[in-house]
Chain A
Amino acid sequence: MTLNARTDMAVSLTVNGRRTAGFVPVRQTLAGYLREELGLTAVHLGCEQGSCGACTVRVDGEVMRSCLVLAVQAEGCVVETPEGFSGDPAMDRLRERFATRNALQCGFCTGGMLVAACDLLAREPRPSRHAIREAISGHVCRCTGYEAIVDAIESAALAETAP
């Protein structure tokens, strides 16, 4: 039997609650697919080698670097990008607090930061500042110095657990 290695392949997945299907070069990353095929440009590509965290999305409930996953590897997966999370009250609060607490300036890191923060609050509704720092430690921000981001996440968590 001869196995056939492909350079293009069909892929179908669910992105932000919508089924999508396409035929993609196997070389295309999930980040590239989300941005170029689906127009979800809150998924930012900074380093394209897994260092900066700007392309972080949730795949089947776990946060991942979408630049380190091939689009074809997401076959059948449920993907949530920063544009998604609709109806998730934690994400709503995080977006609001990022704005009011000045947790972004240029905004390049913000999508990845929000996904990581939302994932943290799902696992740990009342995280310590240390836990927040750990959760965003894989995300590079060159504007804020991080303090305002930690403040925003902490304040979103406290808002949830306030009586």
Chain B
Amino acid sequence: MADAEVAERLVAPPAAPVAAAGRAGTLAGELQAEATHALAQAGLQPAVTRPRRKINWLIVTGGVILALVLGLTLAAPMLAPYHPAEQRARERLQGPSRAHPMGTDRLGRDIYSRVLYGGQTSLSASSIALGVTLTIGVALGLLAGYAGGWVDGAIMRLVDVLLAFPSFILALIVAGLYGPGLLKVVLAATAVWWVSYARVTRSLVLQAKQEGYVQAARAAGARPLSIAVREVLPQILGPIVVLATLNLGRLILTLSGLSFLGMGAQPPTAEWGLMLSEGKAYFMEFQHMMVFPGLMIFVTVLGLTLLGEGLRDVLDPNGAAGRA
């Protein structure tokens, strides 16, 4: 599949790094140089080398979309005309109007306000899930890759077992048995999702171990932990950042899906998946209840996907993140 990734890049050559300043810039440069080298070794022509740095439109578009979503969400207290839980019995089930730009729901709550506040719930839950999975996955991947031996074996067997588990089913069952709730769903998701980071990190560490700088550090007498964290980790961050960005989108889809099933966020919380499920009962007559929350999920995940793929061109030209 590495060949395939490379090929895709050959056809649509990646734009050169744009906003990557400082350390990230040099890292990206190095990785790109490595990719070119690898391509040459594989007997392929390197991707079109561009004399001038070109704007990566994937990053720009994705970044702008995300900034908009994030801005709307964070500024919810200022932008929202109503409190997200405020019920106005007389204004129930209204279509979009001047007073209620996105209409109202069955309890007379303003959907526009709830969509804004709902972003806070959806985004923070997904971010927490991402943070925890990232930490566990990268730590275990580093450990497995660097320690090797039985430690590696044990961790990778655990990964094999978890991969055989249908992850969505697991989250569903945990949420169902331990009681619904956003936090529980997040925990259940993290129990499975770290696997992809562990695999990517491990394979990158195994590669890095062969590199001169690691051997130099070892010869200089640095301790294994220090080598793993201070030498190897910064070198392999690029693909992990890419994977994390793309995974955040998938996490948002998963968590809002669980909320849609009634297993995640509970009423009266404003959360996009939950709002959609509330709108489901009325979608025959009042489509506005399900259109807007769904649109927000879609736009957010779209932004993250664009950003992630743009970053991949810059930070992960070998497509390591895609081999998760």
A associates with B = no
- Residues on A facing B (Cβ under 8 Å): none
